[in-house]
A = this chain, B = another copy of it.
């Protein structure tokens, strides 16, 4: 091992140790954590053993319930914050999900909020006392941001002695503080952010808490794992190709990818910053659909369009929420069972069939979604992500001398010239136009004269993958190319009995074959099964309102995602 490597290894080890040392000693688990073979699922009963009943009560409440208590003074911000800090500390030890821990600062904020409430008799804002976790792209005063780069340790976005180091705060952070949220930790990401799994040289691999043989997904994988373990009620991730939706699906939580221009990205770290053919977007992730709505609405109350030049002046549209809420029974949907390139695995197919039945039984018209080829969008996205020839990530990897990790899907490439970038923008726009025309054309098939309100499709052909096996992101990336509003919701869990057989009429191609060969019903047992709902561009109010509806339907049908199907269980026929 040569010099520079030795150096970055020790810098990374130092940071890894500092993260652990930020956990109060009383919260360090004393017993050895059993290996994944013995204890694949560390959620529910397993994690609860380390907590008091009161801590369990608090941390298993969703963001809406928590704020109902904290904004009315029935729960103190301090007690809530402490409970989540404790559970997050355990979560990190179980699945390796945190890059920054700042519990002391969080407890100070919580105390200040309690004092505010005592003094004014009212909450500071709608998120008063709510702990909110953040993907490690957001800058928080006093803390580092590395997005996984060893070379960013002790710098501001790779720059040494920068005056913004540990002082600059991202716009979203400022707004969350105004809303009364308590920030307490930042969650792990894959180095470069361009990966469907979460792995970096600082803390290593982030595991799926429902099945620790598997990945937490990426790139907002730390958020996904932490929230699934109820180590945080809600957080914010980012998504340029599926980075909110893949970990939401893999971990069995809810996640929203809004269209670009609704949530503030201003002042956050990013990969290939300035690439604007496909913009990365910020979105909430949480344990329930109403929690997503709470976070999304609250941020909009801060009028981010006056502080972030890329945010559109588009407040939460109550009238859309009301209209959709009133017309729920008359909504029409489409389902895309596969994208023509890769067939989803049995648990995903089962979830799609189930949603289909559920919706039809509710009286909804559900048609098949046969859009313009998603391969076109995948080709566009691949070229866009490679357009700088890897310049940005090479520069940041070189700061430490670490090498690109295999989880990162970027391949060696030549850079594009400006005219080629422009050509990609045109191709993207033409694809968007085709897709839009297709969507409009569904008005002929719904029986209402209106096009479908939203469509449902997989977020990934598989449930959570084993390390190194995230191969195919096209089920989420087409949404980024289209800039549509979309969200992921948990439907059920993979089951080694029910999902045993992977019966197919054949393969759609090489990629399909490879992915079908990956299928292993025993390995994935217990892994969450999420699906994706897609609305048009900037239809977040509609998507979130439908998402709550789906959540209620699924709950009522007895298939709530947190219930892991046991051997021998069958899918409730709805």
Establish whether residues B415 and A419, one from each chain, have CB atoms under 8 Å apart when the complex forms: yes
Docked CA distance A482–B482 (Å): 24
Residues of B within 8 A of A387 (CB): 418
Interface residues of A in 426-472 (CB under 8 A from B): 426, 429, 432-433, 436, 440
**Is A379's CB within 8 Å of the partner chain B?**
no
Residues of B within 8 A of A276 (CB): 276-277, 422, 425
Residues of B within 8 A of A294 (CB): none
**A426 contacts which of B274, B418, B419 (Cβ < 8 Å)?**
B274
Contact bitstring A392-418, B, C-beta under 8 A = 1, else 0: 100000000000000000000001111
Residues of B within 8 A of A388 (CB): 417-419, 422
| Given A276-B277, A314-B314, A429-B309, A419-B392 contact (CB < 8 Å) | yes
**A313 contacts which of B392, B415, B537 (Cβ < 8 Å)?**
B537
| A310 to B: closest C-beta gap in Å | 7
Interface residues of A in 505-532 (CB under 8 A from B): none
Establish whether residues B420 and A418, one from each chain, have CB atoms under 8 Å apart when the complex forms: yes
Docked CA distance A538–B312 (Å): 8
Residues of B within 8 A of A415 (CB): 417-419
| Given A387-B418, A416-B418, A418-B418, A433-B309 contact (CB < 8 Å) | yes
**Is A391's CB within 8 Å of the partner chain B?**
yes
Establish whether residues B392 and A309, one from each chain, have CB atoms under 8 Å apart when the complex forms: no
Residue of B nearest to A272 (CB): B422
| A203 to B: closest C-beta gap in Å | 29
Establish whether residues A425 and B307, one from each chain, have CB atoms under 8 Å apart when the complex forms: no
**Is A389's CB within 8 Å of the partner chain B?**
yes
| Size class of the A contact interface (CB-based, 8 Å) | 35 or more
Establish whether residues B417 and A306, one from each chain, have CB atoms under 8 Å apart when the complex forms: no
Residue of B nearest to A310 (CB): B429
Establish whether residues B417 and A266, one from each chain, have CB atoms under 8 Å apart when the complex forms: no
| A61 to B: closest C-beta gap in Å | 34
**Is A539's CB within 8 Å of the partner chain B?**
yes
Docked CA distance A276–B421 (Å): 9
Residues of B within 8 A of A2 (CB): none
Most buried by B among A272, A306, A416, A432: A306
Residues of B within 8 A of A539 (CB): 313
Contact bitstring A246-278, B, C-beta under 8 A = 1, else 0: 000000000000000100001000001111110
Residues of B within 8 A of A389 (CB): 417-419
Docked CA distance A306–B314 (Å): 17
Establish whether residues A436 and B274, one from each chain, have CB atoms under 8 Å apart when the complex forms: no
| A534 to B: closest C-beta gap in Å | 15
Interface residues of A in 521-574 (CB under 8 A from B): 536-539
| Given A416-B417, A418-B416, A425-B274 contact (CB < 8 Å) | yes
| A122 to B: closest C-beta gap in Å | 22
Residues of B within 8 A of A185 (CB): none
**Is A424's CB within 8 Å of the partner chain B?**
yes
**Is A305's CB within 8 Å of the partner chain B?**
yes
**Is A368's CB within 8 Å of the partner chain B?**
no
Most buried by B among A261, A274, A305: A274
**Is A423's CB within 8 Å of the partner chain B?**
yes
Establish whether residues A433 and B266, one from each chain, have CB atoms under 8 Å apart when the complex forms: yes
Docked CA distance A272–B422 (Å): 8
| A318 to B: closest C-beta gap in Å | 12
| Given A391-B419, A433-B266, A426-B273 contact (CB < 8 Å) | yes
Residues of B within 8 A of A275 (CB): 418, 422, 425
| A336 to B: closest C-beta gap in Å | 19
Contact bitstring A314-325, B, C-beta under 8 A = 1, else 0: 100000000000
| A422 to B: closest C-beta gap in Å | 3
| A404 to B: closest C-beta gap in Å | 17
| A541 to B: closest C-beta gap in Å | 10
Most buried by B among A273, A421, A426: A421
Contact bitstring A290-334, B, C-beta under 8 A = 1, else 0: 000000000000000111111011100000000000000000000
| A454 to B: closest C-beta gap in Å | 15
Residues of B within 8 A of A306 (CB): 436, 440
**A312 contacts which of B312, B423, B425, B429 (Cβ < 8 Å)?**
B312
| Given A277-B276, A426-B273, A309-B418 contact (CB < 8 Å) | no
Establish whether residues A422 and B273, one from each chain, have CB atoms under 8 Å apart when the complex forms: yes
| A20 to B: closest C-beta gap in Å | 35
Docked CA distance A261–B305 (Å): 15
Q: A275-B422, A312-B314 are in contact. List 6 more A-B contacts (CB 8 A).
A: A261-B312, A266-B433, A274-B421, A313-B536, A416-B417, A417-B418
30 pairs, CB–CB < 8 Å, chain A vs chain B:
A273-B426, A274-B422, A274-B424, A274-B425, A274-B426, A274-B429, A275-B425, A276-B276, A305-B537, A306-B440, A307-B440, A308-B433, A309-B432, A309-B433, A309-B482, A310-B429, A312-B314, A313-B539, A388-B417, A388-B418, A388-B422, A391-B419, A392-B422, A415-B417, A415-B418, A416-B417, A416-B418, A417-B417, A417-B418, A418-B420
Give the 6 A-B CB pairs with smallest separation, nearest first. Answer: A274-B422, A309-B432, A274-B425, A274-B426, A387-B418, A416-B418
